[in-house]
Amino acid sequence: MNVATEHGLRGPGIFLAQFMSDQAPFDSLANIASWAASQGYKAIQLPTLGTRYIDLERAAHSQTYCDELNAICANAGVQISELSTHLQGQLVAVHPAFDAVFDEFAPVHVRGRPQARTQWASDQLKLAARASQRLGLKAHATFSGALLWPYVYPWPQRPKGLVEQGFGELARRWLPILDCFEDAGVDLCYEIHPGEDLHDGASFERFLQAVDHHPRAAILYDPSHLLLQQMDYLGFIDRYHARIRMFHVKDAEFRPDSRAGVYGGYQDWVDRPGRFRSLGDGQVDFKSIFSKLTQYGFNGWAVLEWECCLKDSAQGAGEGAVFIERHMITRTQRAFDDFAGVSADVHSNRRLLGLPED
């Protein structure tokens, strides 16, 4: 059953970053779109680093090319839900401690040149805004990057003003990008994620204040990252629903033991107390999440992001579409007790309240 509608919660969709490969059917947009449709997905979320599925610069400048991309997807039976610049967004703000490892995400000509790398990443985000607009998309996925992550635990004591200065610099880098997304009419959704300066509600609020509550500064809601931080991921929706414009459906579990807790003890994912799981295998209460998003009128796609240290990706993807489909809610258009409704007007209401007529 196609549960996608023009408004409200839509799905299932699938994020393709973890499936990219030189091997068919993951080697081209046409092939992977057909594969996604065969698994039961209605939409695909496209990573944009490289040109395997989309040439970002070409898409930013050519409506004909974007129309061709949409046609390829439509012919396969899916549509593009959003674009992703997670890796480029990471490079907008990199602490020098991570220069060497994050250089691998950048093209060769800017490696070893942090300022040039930041400019390249910023330009990539601006291209993504225009490409999203041409593709008819309303939201975009990214990371914030991090200048403060080495100081996330306050020991040694953080110098006074360090955090405020860090968020001021982060805002300075992102404001021109946010303005570009405003011009394009597209929400820029930061995935709230450890390793990023925007990793929980408190840090998102700091950023929001630093960018003067920019209307395009939004949240990609992924409950797995909140569960692994031992946050109230349902209360997060209550608190931030107005800024939640994207949704990754990803499961996780947290089982602390006598050896390790939230920080994981430098262990591999399979041995950590907190680890990502395929949908339905973890602890996330998706029934409540889908209910809350429906309650608050979330207008976007429910997109599977597969990350599991146990289950194979093919099995996870095959089960994921069915899982999301099962949790979709068609919002009621009438109250359950409408059958017992009574006529009413201002005058009769005054009489019922025991008030005199005007």
Name the residue with higher pLDDT: 358 or 162.
Answer: 162
Question: In the chain, what percentage of residues exceed pLDDT 90?
Answer: 91
Q: Name the CA radius of gyration of the chain, rounded.
A: 22
- Domain assignment present for residue 1? The answer is no
pLDDT in tens, 205-264: 999 999 999 999 999 999 999 999 999 999 999 999 999 999 999 999 999 999 999 999
Residue from 111, 71, 76 nearest 94 by CA: 111
Print burial letters for 182-219: b (CB count within 10 Å at least 16), e (below 16): bebebbbbbbbbbebbbbbbebbebbbebbeebebbbb
How many Cα atoms within 13 Å fall on the side-chain side of residue 172? 9
**pTM of the entire structure?**
0.94
pLDDT in tens, 18-73: 999 999 999 999 999 999 999 999 999 999 999 999 999 999 999 999 999 999 99
Whether residue 152 contacts residue 98, with contact meaning beta carbons closer than 8 Å, is answered with no
- For position 25, which CATH number holds? 3.20.20.150
- How are beta strands 251-254 and 274-277 bridged, if at all? antiparallel
Q: Is the pLDDT of residue 314 over 70?
A: yes
Can you give the length of the chain in residues? 358
- Domain assignment present for residue 315? The answer is yes
Q: How many domains does the chain divide into? A: 1
Which residues constitute the domain of residue 164?
A: 9-352
- Domain assignment present for residue 4? The answer is no
Q: What is the pLDDT of residue 6?
A: 53
- Domain assignment present for residue 147? The answer is yes
Whether residue 147 contacts residue 170, with contact meaning beta carbons closer than 8 Å, is answered with yes
Name the residue with higher pLDDT: 92 or 333.
Answer: 92
- Domain assignment present for residue 251? The answer is yes
Mean pLDDT lowest for which of 155-159, 173-177, 291-295, 350-354? 350-354
Mean pLDDT lowest for which of 141-145, 229-233, 244-248, 329-333? 329-333
Q: Is the pLDDT of residue 184 over 50?
A: yes
- Domain assignment present for residue 357? The answer is no
Q: What is the pLDDT of residue 145?
A: 98
Q: What is the pLDDT of residue 3?
A: 41
- For 183, residues 6+ apart whose C-beta sits below 8 A from its C-beta are 129
- Domain assignment present for residue 310? The answer is yes
- Domain assignment present for residue 2? The answer is no
